[in-house]
Chain A
Amino acid sequence: MIKVEHLSKHFGKVKAVDGISFDVKEHENLVLLGTSGCGKTTTLKMLNRLIEPTHGKIFINNKNILEQQPEILRRGIGYVLQNNGLFPHYTVGENIAIVPQLLNWDKKKIQHRVSELLEKLHLSKAYFNVYPNELSGGQQQRVGLARALVADPPVLLMDEPFGALDNVTKSKIHAEFKVLDELKKKTIIMVTHDVQEAFELGDRICLMDAGKIVQQGTPADLLFKPKNKFVEDFLKEQRLQLEFKAIKPPQPPEGGTLRLNGVVLSRDVSMWWVMEQFKFKGSESLSIYDDQDREIEKLGFEDLMSAFYQYKQQQTHE
């Protein structure tokens, strides 16, 4: 869906982005990960032409975006800024309604859509007429997200959307983020320098350093098959937690489901997530159902742990 080829951006002598290429499939969530100043924001901004590339090509839906009119292109791409960039002189409602207004939606439709989003993002209706400076940082982030989502663009670019949050709020928003139906059908490129966040939210990760992509792949690829010392070092901290996040519980057969307390789970939940459920929700087992809706296996904590070690063994021996 998004294809980036040999993309570079030079600011004078500084090679902020230096010949990177990557693909993002439809409905995939790609994370650009790296230390401060490695060129993540610059890369992201080139995708909606806030910055014009020095070299390289960008295709979205097989169309070269450098040949499109920037304003029109941008209205079809949701963008969440590194520091939210809400209009201080617009109310929350007006902020969210900016793009629909640009697209000339009628008033009722805008009103309806804005209320719908406020609700989905757990923002009370009372905030509709409030100005951004009266909101907490987390609430502002959500408004920023709502503003990017409102016109239902197929592509969403997010620059450290949860950057300014404390860890507790962050993991709460992460959880909400993962289950938000609005995001399920979107192709997302998300920038972060937080490794845990990348592992939690990313289907695939591009690890960047000094304008180049050092390695790209699934979280498990990076963790268990690091290309070089840089990647290894980058993931060294809290490695165990990362491993739990990178590894999935045993998967059901084709057509089957994973269930926790009878509730069907998404196929891509991590081991970490299941463990958390065990701990906080008091569940004791994860059930695997086949395509006939028959329970074929019931896994307790011990079973999961041994599955985890088995998987790890397998990865490192490969």
Chain B
Amino acid sequence: MQIDETTPNAARSAASGDDRTLGALLAARGVSRRAFLKYSSYLASLLALPASMAPAMAASLAKAQRQSVIWLSFQECTGCTESLTRSLSPTLDDLIFDFISLDYHHTLQAASGHAAEEARMQAMEAHKGKYIVAVDGSVPVKDGGIYSTIAGMSNLDILEETTKDAFAVVAIGSCAAFGGLPLADPNPTGAVPVTELVTDKPVINIPGCPPIPEAMAAVLAHVLTFGILPELDSLGRPKSFYGESVHDRCYRRPFYDRGEFAESFDDEGAKKGWCLYKLGCKGPATSNACATVKWNGGTSFPIEAGHPCLGCSEPGFWDMGGFYRALSVPTGDVARIAAVAAGAGVVAGAAAGALHRATKSAARGKHHTVTVEELEEK
């Protein structure tokens, strides 16, 4: 194999026989084992693993080799890449970029044209059965997939070719995980999520518009450390990040429980930081870690900035009947239990969230929107 500046890292390592461990590679750059241990403590915390596992994780990480990642971008806006590359703080979080070898990524790679496609093929060959394919964007399948092509190939063909020998596929962002904006009604390109197309490999969904960068990094680090995928929920999302709703962990939750709601964006309630439910907050029906991990290096999250949660990490969030309308719920028992939950605190509130989730697809079909007053009357 001829190696030049366009040869991707992994293929370069394989070709040059550089099979050094992460520990050896990073030690050469002055990264100590203590840093590995610290990273592992942080990782264990993010992944909700016992803190006592950190030393074993550090040892395993140091022995691992760089993980080859091939990143495919389809019908997307590049916000997911922006999220991953810009939001991590330049010390501990960004160690993930030392742990992985990003062998193909349209936006970030220096190579272009034939050299870029060659890089993808080389990485696939050098790491057969071991590489991870990260996908952002949905895949258009209407009219033979002509609505999005790269290097003359449809997204569908590239996905099929690239995932063939992959270890796992990570669907990054709501478009890849659930179809996102391209799939929104009337879905002119026939967009479908990655999970509907890749059925012979494990697919991890990391939804969000964009997803929380720590979630993307932690999933990759989990694979590197343990060699297996993290525990996933029924929608293929890592439980450690999507195991609870935004509402379960929202700091405005005490106001919700006391029935104190902002009615408009500049009323007294809004100024006092009351619950944003009536302004359309989708927090009760949205599984994500925004309220705990937060955004922009832990600065805040939308609700903290006074804006209701849009529910961007849930399937079909664009077609939920209006961002600023109170959650759509069907009538009957759900309304009654949600009203009881509103007065009964965390556990009952979580039940209401589950009910919102369980019934919202039906509500979406009907586009029946109720206010909190209506909900409590029923």
- A and B found bound together: no
Interface residues of B (CB under 8 A from A): none
